[in-house]
Chains A and B, each alone.
Chain A
């Protein structure tokens, strides 16, 4: 049963992951970006750098 369903599952996964893919056009899903967290980390780092500079 599993062996029979496998090709179908593979095909469905390919469609889901690849979106539409031809030799001319393909779409590939990337990990979502996390801009709020990235900027929060940048703010924290800037504060640490400022503190380190003040202590020097």
Chain B
């Protein structure tokens, strides 16, 4: 029952949240930031797009992936997407945000603008997506910024090495949005030592500064706007469902298509609390997958039995119920930290948290001028101190837009023009 209801609710809010990937802080109390995060860039403000973008789907088996649990049998190979120019061109590697695969609407938008600007484009999933965890993670326990980015870097290098010879690459740039932005920056810093891709520039779009601080804010947002676990979700479902039913009755529509759903979502999300709930729920749904896979791989036994691992076809009702009540804090304390503390001697919890801050690449950023950031003054995943850290660390290499919440201006004319200017190495430094 909960699963069916959740599916419907996620479907509805997911449609509205096609533009949100990561979650909250400074702009949490800001109605405009919340709405921008949920609705994204209006289509009339989107940058010019090309008529056609060729697309290929690539599946690759990676030798370092952990043995695949039986229940994840369908994710043996990593799937990425590639658009090739028919002439020699730079390659842009684009990393998705939290929990997302390598072909989201946001990636499609970035792919189109980058392809139109003359890049080969390789779009890759987030290391927190189920497909990546199963096919490319060396631990199966996602959330470690350094390790996840190492896996991502190795996967990108393997894909590039396998591309047909007719694809001529003149340079490699890396970019990403939300958590993928942080991954992109760390990939460049790894490459400075390994030199397998010779990454020229990195552009981080709305990156978090501290993964775990952002997670804690998301937990608070969830409990404030929805309540606790399955009961809170049930109440939210009832609240939204009644409005949704009334909307369809009043508009005399019964067609449930994506576009109508967007209109419906726009009609039923009314208050700031509704929008906060939509943002919080999107991230919580991403956590469900990360938590499940992490518990399975780490053998921590929180929602799965390590002695009797789940099999394809097993009922998932009880596990789904249990996962709905789990917070990011639970993931850190029950799965992530126990796994890493057990596998890395001398590690402390404090060190683990510190390693997942963007300032792990602080020195690299100060040494190398080819790291760039785009963010918003009202980004939900940053607090004032974190925004200031970005302004200071990336001084002269950062664009801070007044409005947009979290990714709510992705694809608009100014964001795309600045991104391409940064990638071309012509950024003169906007207002810090």
Contact = CB atoms under 8 A, between A and B. Distances in A.
Interface of A: 19-20, 23-39, 42-43, 45-46, 49
Contacts of B330: none
B402 interface: no
A12 to B, nearest CB: 16
B55 A31 contact: yes
A30 B189 CA distance: 33
A33 B57 contact: no
Interface stretch (B42-50, B93-101, B209-217, B419-427): B42-50
A34 B50 CA distance: 7
A39 B57 contact: no
B56 A33 contact: no
Given A26-B59, A30-B56, A49-B263, A37 B44 contact: no
B263 A20 contact: no
A19 B58 CA distance: 10
A10 B111 CA distance: 32
Contacts of B162: 20, 24-25
Interface string B156-182: 000000101000000000000000000
A37 B263 contact: no
Contacts of A38: 49
B59 A25 contact: yes
Contacts of B333: none
Given A20-B164, A43-B43, A26 B58 contact: yes
A33 B164 contact: no
Interface residues of B, number: 27
A1 to B, nearest CB: 32
Contact of B55 (A25, A32, A45): A32
Given A42-B43, A46-B44, A35 B58 contact: no
Contacts of B48: 36
B56 A27 contact: yes
A46 B43 CA distance: 8
A27 B51 contact: no
Given A20-B164, A25-B162, A39 B263 contact: no
Given A39-B46, A42-B43, A33 B53 contact: yes
Contacts, number: 69
Given A25-B59, A28-B57, A36 B42 contact: no
Contacts of B43: 39, 42-43, 46
Nearest to B166: A19
B56 A19 contact: yes
Contacts of A46: 42-44
B273 interface: no
A25 B60 contact: yes
A34 B51 CA distance: 5
B82 to A, nearest CB: 7
B108 interface: yes
B52 A32 contact: yes
Given A20-B164, A46-B44, A36 B51 contact: yes
A25 B55 CA distance: 16
Nearest to A30: B55
Nearest to B267: A53
Nearest to B105: A38
B109 interface: yes
Contacts of B58: 25-28
A30 B48 CA distance: 23
Given A30-B55, A31-B55, A43-B43, A24 B49 contact: no
Interface string B246-278: 000000000000010001000000000000000
Given A27-B58, A33-B55, A34-B53, 16 more contacts: A19-B56, A19-B164, A23-B61, A24-B61, A25-B59, A25-B61, A27-B82, A28-B58, A30-B55, A32-B52, A33-B111, A33-B112, A35-B49, A39-B46, A46-B42, A46-B44
